[in-house]
Structure 1
Amino acid sequence: MGAGGVRVLLLSGPAQGGGGVEKLAGALGASGLEVLRAGSVREALSVVRSDAALGAALVGWDTTDTAMDGPAGTGEVLRAVGERFVRLPVFLLVTGSDVSGLPLWAYKLIQGCVWPLEDTPAFIAGRIARAVADYREAVLPPFFRALRHFDAGHEFSWHTPGHAGGVAFLKSPAGRALWDFYGEALFRTDLSISVGELGSPLDHTGRIGAAERNAARVFGAEQTLFVMNGNSASNRIVGHATAADGESVLVDRNCHKSIMHALTLSGAVPRYLVPQRNGLGLAGPIPPSALARAGDGGPAVSAVVTNSTYDGLCYDAVEVAGLLAPHVPRIHFDEAWFAHGAFHPLYARRFGMAVTPEVMDDELRPTVFATQSTHKLLAALSQAAMVHVRPAPRAPVNPARFNETYLMHGTTSPSYPVIASLDVAAAMMDGASGTFLLTEAITEAVRFRQTVVSVAEQIREDRDRPGWFFGVWQPDHVATRPVEDLVSDPAAWSLEPGAAWHGFTDLRSGYCMLDPIKVTITCPGVTADGAVQELGIPARIVAAYLEQRGIVVEKTGDYTLLVLFSLGTTKGKWGTLIDALVDFKDAHDAAAPVEELIPDLGLTGPLPDLCAAMHAALQAHGLGRLLDQVFTDLPTPEVTPRAAHTMLIHDDVEQVPLDRAHDRVAASLVVVTPPGIPMLLPGENIGRADGPALTYLRALQAIDQEFPAFAADIHGVHRDQGGAYHLDCLAFSDSAVTPVPDR
């Protein structure tokens, strides 16, 4: 990896001025390095904190400043480099006679010293260029480095894939367009498992195996496996490898549907751990008292806990492990949305791999699996995921046997670009770099949160305007505490018992916290405790307006919008969202016509009228109250998920309208978004005609029919031309089924 085109920061003070520095800058340019001249410490710090393309830094030092904290600011710049980069070559520009006054801490951050007038500019520039080249090679993680070297060999491809390095695409106009769009590098590195020198993800050998071992070190695991078909596959791997037919598994009811797929594959029988819900419809934590009683139903082989939740609630994983350990030998933390947990002090103890021998004795400590969707909030390509393993003596993990299940769910045609992105994602989070990147993301999220509140203050001061109606779901003190405190203090985000803002009960201090990078914007209509407000702005209408503005949120509830502050979030990005929210509010104040604001809906009339009508419908049907009942008053399982699936593939299934679905057994998952969590599982009795499930679905059906432009996103429900719902139900013919065992 050469040094050409790389930037070198140059900060020189008066003591290093003169022709020597200018000649050195010229020699660096002649070596192919772009020199960034910083005119001040402030400019230098800005470059260090924002420019990941830096290959080296030359920082002037006044040798009389033995503490390095004088006006030249050398120490401040060096410390900033240490916080941002790992092993970036830093050279001190020195004009004094020696470096005897250099503090010891500085030696850890510099690679050497440069006296511009003692050696020739060409020689010094050559040393720096060599250091830059070595650094750029060293920052590459194992697999990505090998992949680049292989690509540089320009070998002919005689193996799959058939596009042969992209050449096949050049033979077709459509193919050529694809080539031009993505570029040659993607196709040249889309390779077959036949390339032995790169290793194999199937037996974890070669550079791929080295990359997985490096990721295990970075993420704090004993073993890490790369998964190329998403965290859904990761969940199926762990679930299928840890439970067998008929065995009981404790399952967080606030789980992803892939957990249910694992139960179907393994034949295991779920016993549910039921989380709370608040008045906003947000899924809360499983109460600690429920975890302590988890063994009341008898022995179980493992437990599954969603950490963090879709809405950003993350547990003290060490405490959860301690509560569950008496009941299960294994815990699977589904951390699809929490791959960043290990890389910032704010999340200490909050992630699965924190359950180590140092915090829990081996006699009690369970084996822990953590499945992570690396691409969601870290930097990786879509479908990039990892499985992390920390075995315990109570439930050893045989790597070869675990790999057999991994192979069942993997592919023999893996995507090498996806593997490279996993390798690089781990490298990005290694050491100081990971903490820096997360601090930046958390900081932007906090500033956004505080800005939403400050807009309300500004509008309140303008007495001629109606009040601001958007809010943020967060502790009250977030609006006023210093940003630095909120970025560093976990207690600032804790769901403290009795705090009104979160709306949950049966908690204890520190048990659960809100991840600040998951921001839930609240719309007027209901409060966290379920109280109905007179003014209602349903979030589906706001989301439609934002989409018209080119802003797509992660999740839309009845009165909430979820946005994610990932590593890629910028000030410009969240500033644009603030602007759009202010514009929506202005449009509502002015009773602007819907057909002008959101023309794609095909609706007419003033915006406030549409909001008021939908708010009235939501409250008339009691949708929020019904949602809470659906996820706390659970249906009765009649047959196992595996048995229900057996009947499904034998076509012992019929579509039934809601008015005839009572007391029938569901044949497939019914997943309502929001919250994106299964409300009915295969094999569960749908319940009475006036029971929670059917009452809720009838309410959704009525609202969909009244407001078809805002129809709910429901998986497992079939709509006829009139918008009426139908469910897949088991027909119970002569097919053999397995009833759920008595528990």
Structure 2
Amino acid sequence: MAVPEHPRAEGARAEQLRKIRDAVGAGGFEVRWAVDAQDADAVLRTEAGLAAALVAWDLPGGGVEDGGPVVLRRIGRRFRDLPVFLIMTEEGVRDLPLWVSETVVGYVWPLEDTAGFIAGRITSAARAYREDVLPPFFRALRRFDDAHEYSWHTPAHSGGVAFLKSAAGRAFHDYFGERLLRSDLSISVGELGSLFEHTGPIGEAERNAARVFGSDSTYFVLHGDSTCNRLIGHFSVTRDELALVDRNCHKSVLQGLVVSGARPVYLVPTRNGYGLAGPLPPAELAPEAIAARLAVHPLAEAAVSPLPQYAVFTNSTYDGLSYDAVATARALAGSTPRVHFDEAWFAYARFHPLYTGRYGMAVDERTFPGPERPTVFATQSTHKLLAALSQSAMVHVRPAPRAPVEHDRFNEALMMHGTTSPLYPMIASLDVATAMMDGPQGEWLIDEAVTEAIRFRQEMVRLRKRVESAGDRPGWFFGVWQPDSVTDPATGARLPFDEAPPELLRTTQSCWLLEPGAAWHGFPGLTEEHCMLDPVKVTLTCPGITAAGDMAEEGIPARVLTAYLATRNIVVEKTDSYTTLILFSMGITKGKWGTLLDALMDFKALYDADAPLDRVLPAAVAAHPRRYAGLTLRELCRQMHGRLRSARLVELLDTAFQQLPEPVRPPQHCYQRLVRGGTERIRIADAANRVAAAMVTVTPPGIPVLMPGESTGDTDGPLLRYLTALESFDRHFPGFRSETHGVTIDEETGDYQIECLRR
């Protein structure tokens, strides 16, 4: 209720408004009372569960002119179809702007009807809204739960009752609550529909998701984007057919090709001096470049067709780089009829104008008309950066005549990778995540995350400038990987990043585009508008190296920083040699990122003071006293930076990723040998010129350096030089070693071992 009168004000209108409030409260609703536009805005920002609003046209602005109209517009930007009643004084409806009638559901003259009647209108509309706001499956699940039926089907805990029969079970029941367990149901519950038949409320929820996410059809998947990727790869390409694969791909993409028996031809993304993977450069995507790659590829000669049946690439990348989706689809359309956007970290892109044209489902009949348009798949880990339970994911499909996607045939592949025992709360979370993005509230939620990320980015630049100019301490501080300046399209003025208006940064895509040749990003071979940096994926940079790869005498490896942040209960998303990634999801607040700023300043103070390491990282010293006892924080950083510099680890990593190993066998052949005892573990020191049987992925940076079926190369080749240097680094810095999938480490010797085909 946004009205000029204070809740305790005198007068007939104030008294009537209090009666209306009390009557609404008696109807089961709690009333928030705001006396000006600023107060009302605070309610709108903090009360997502509003069911109705009463707004006085004559509401004071609280520093803003025309408070009533301002609040009405903010409601329209924040909520979809929220019932709004406009409180009138003496003027008639005909004196109001036309847009008001499109915004409100009714008008209230407080002194012309009884408080009970007015409250009845409000509560009736609020109840209808609360029911209508629920998406299809979640609404049906709630109704089923409210029916309190006995369970005669699986799962055997029967709505949680079985857990009550033991002490451990009772603790489990009490921790998660009866409602969650009652909603864990069997596929035998027909009225809730079928995940594989796509019927009933589940089918309605998927069709609703297709509408909201802009696809022709959408499928719910309950094992994460990994299963989505395996599913699409399995469906799109068959045994001994060719697939174009972004080398910066998730391991699940390769697993899909192992299952299908495809022959992958890898496309190589660019990299910068920090070791960050960039986009596939435009020249790499051109049909003539792909044809040239296929002409010399060892696995292409035995393929059943010279035309790749499938192309897959990561969008946006782990570090927040997204493509011009339509231009990329056009480029790949000359080489393949199916294009797969792996958007595990990008499910929100459709819901904010900053990302216009940067996501897979932007490729449609309007943006890419004609017979050459490929079928487009987009796979998304909905749970990663939207509000869904872990493992909840979606596949979005836009078929084209070149490569039709018949539902029944696609569904066969879906059933191969799905489960016949779905967790209904996960389905409900996908349904609710969809509803949260539907209409203006979706843009509002993403805009809030974008805005907080921009505020943090600008504050980091300002803080660094203050440190540099203070004169009372060493002038270094952490940086942020982003443009140093941006251009205001309206004026053409070039503005320092920290001085740019936040409104410009959150609404103007050109501020985030990677300009060809710009020093800050360090990626070669880009063209205008090809690639954009996502503001919500914030990469912090540590002193010691530049985007061009130039190393300084001293530096602070990011592994040391993130180890310290972990002691402050700050867990980052990813750590590379000199960068660390922070995700600004919908759950980020000023208080949360303010805590990070404080921790970064504290680390600087500890480094500058040369604090003892047992004070900064006590757990590391306790776990490895012989290695770290007596060291200071600065000395550890010097030793680690010195090792990275002398071993040229970042440079070796770049070379290993740019000069791909020679493919010898298809991945499926290697898997068959792996499960039938046809492989052996070989020390890195002895692994020259062997054929890998399993993927080797080093985190950081989390990108495969060796794929099944590829040769390890010579001892002095780029791959083994890199892995040898990494092995040596891990030996020297226990507790800071990389997470390396596909590598077994001998705990006694520290030797790296990889799985290779037996000779």
Aligned residue number for residue 345 of structure 2: 337
1:32 and 2:40 are equivalent in the alignment: no
Residues 203-218 of structure 1: matches in 2 within 5 Å?
203-218=197-212
The letter of the residue matching 1:675 is: P
Aligned residue number for residue 57 of structure 2: 61
The letter of the residue matching 1:471 is: G
Instruction: Tell me how far apart the structure 2 counterparts of residues 687 and 16 of structure 1 sit (CA, whole Å).
Output: 88
Instruction: Tell me how far apart the structure 2 counterparts of residues 341 and 459 of structure 1 sit (CA, whole Å).
Output: 35
* Counterpart contact for 2:606–2:633, Cα < 8 Å: yes
1:28 CA displacement = 1.6
The letter of the residue matching 2:738 is: A
Instruction: Tell me how far apart the structure 1 counterparts of residues 666 and 739 of structure 2 sit (CA, whole Å).
Output: 26
SS at match of 1:466: coil
Residues 448-459 of structure 1: matches in 2 within 5 Å?
448-459=456-467
Aligned residue number for residue 323 of structure 2: 315
Q: How many residues align?
A: 722
* Counterpart contact for 1:69–1:76, Cα < 8 Å: no
Instruction: Tell me how far apart the structure 1 counterparts of residues 539 and 64 of structure 2 sit (CA, whole Å).
Output: 44
1:636 and 2:632 are equivalent in the alignment: no
Aligned residue number for residue 4 of structure 2: 12
Residues 150-549 of structure 1: matches in 2 within 5 Å?
150-292=144-286, 293-296=289-292, 297=294, 298-477=306-485, 478-549=497-568
Instruction: Tell me how far apart the structure 1 counterparts of residues 698 and 65 of structure 2 sit (CA, whole Å).
Output: 60
Can you give the 5+ residue segments of structure 2 that lack an aligned partner in the other structure?
295-305, 486-496, 622-627
* Counterpart contact for 2:37–2:64, Cα < 8 Å: no
* Counterpart contact for 1:11–1:41, Cα < 8 Å: no
Instruction: Tell me how far apart the structure 2 counterparts of residues 291 and 353 of structure 1 sit (CA, whole Å).
Output: 19
The letter of the residue matching 1:598 is: L
* Counterpart contact for 1:16–1:60, Cα < 8 Å: no
Aligned residue number for residue 753 of structure 2: 726
1:225-256: CA deviation from partner (whole Å, max 9, x where unpaired): 00000100000000000001000011101000
1:417 CA displacement = 0.6
Between the aligned residues of both structures, percent identity stands at: 56
SS at match of 1:83: helix
1:49 CA displacement = 2.2
SS at match of 2:391: coil
User: Which 4+ stretches in 1 moved above 3 angstroms?
Assistant: 12-17, 67-72
- State the superposition RMSD in angstroms: 1.6
Over 3 Å counting, the alpha-carbon distance change for 1:350 and 1:71 in structure 2 is closer
* Counterpart contact for 1:495–1:509, Cα < 8 Å: yes
Instruction: Tell me how far apart the structure 1 counterparts of residues 719 and 473 of structure 2 sit (CA, whole Å).
Output: 43
Over 3 Å counting, the alpha-carbon distance change for 1:649 and 1:451 in structure 2 is same
1:673-702: CA deviation from partner (whole Å, max 9, x where unpaired): 011111111111111111111111110111
SS at match of 1:284: coil
The letter of the residue matching 1:27 is: A
SS at match of 2:184: coil
The farther-off stretch of 23-32 and 130-139 is 23-32
SS at match of 1:145: helix
* Counterpart contact for 1:28–1:125, Cα < 8 Å: yes
1:111 CA displacement = 1.0
SS at match of 1:75: helix
1:92-144: CA deviation from partner (whole Å, max 9, x where unpaired): 11121532211110111111011111211111111111111111111110000
Instruction: Tell me how far apart the structure 2 counterparts of residues 468 and 484 of structure 1 sit (CA, whole Å).
Output: 29
Which of 570, 579, 583 is equivalent to 1:564?
A: 583
1:72 CA displacement = 4.7
Instruction: Tell me how far apart the structure 1 counterparts of residues 524 and 275 of structure 2 sit (CA, whole Å).
Output: 15
The letter of the residue matching 2:46 is: S
- TM-score between both structures, scaled by the size of structure 2: 0.93
Instruction: Tell me how far apart the structure 1 counterparts of residues 203 and 76 of structure 2 sit (CA, whole Å).
Output: 29
Instruction: Tell me how far apart the structure 2 counterparts of residues 71 and 716 of structure 1 sit (CA, whole Å).
Output: 63
* Counterpart contact for 2:699–2:738, Cα < 8 Å: yes
* Counterpart contact for 1:321–1:331, Cα < 8 Å: yes
SS at match of 1:35: coil
Residues 606-685 of structure 1: matches in 2 within 5 Å?
606-685=632-711
Aligned residue number for residue 125 of structure 1: 119
1:48-73: CA deviation from partner (whole Å, max 9, x where unpaired): 1221011111111239x9x9998451
Aligned residue number for residue 719 of structure 2: 693
The letter of the residue matching 1:44 is: A
1:12 CA displacement = 3.4
Instruction: Tell me how far apart the structure 2 counterparts of residues 680 and 201 of structure 1 sit (CA, whole Å).
Output: 37
1:386-426: CA deviation from partner (whole Å, max 9, x where unpaired): 00000011111101000000000000001101100000011
Instruction: Tell me how far apart the structure 1 counterparts of residues 499 and 64 of structure 2 sit (CA, whole Å).
Output: 33
Instruction: Tell me how far apart the structure 2 counterparts of residues 479 and 294 of structure 1 sit (CA, whole Å).
Output: 41
1:281-316: CA deviation from partner (whole Å, max 9, x where unpaired): 100011101100223324211110110001000000
SS at match of 1:727: strand
SS at match of 1:718: strand
* Counterpart contact for 1:686–1:693, Cα < 8 Å: yes
Instruction: Tell me how far apart the structure 2 counterparts of residues 312 and 396 of structure 1 sit (CA, whole Å).
Output: 31
1:183 CA displacement = 1.3
SS at match of 2:468: helix
Instruction: Tell me how far apart the structure 1 counterparts of residues 127 and 14 of structure 2 sit (CA, whole Å).
Output: 28
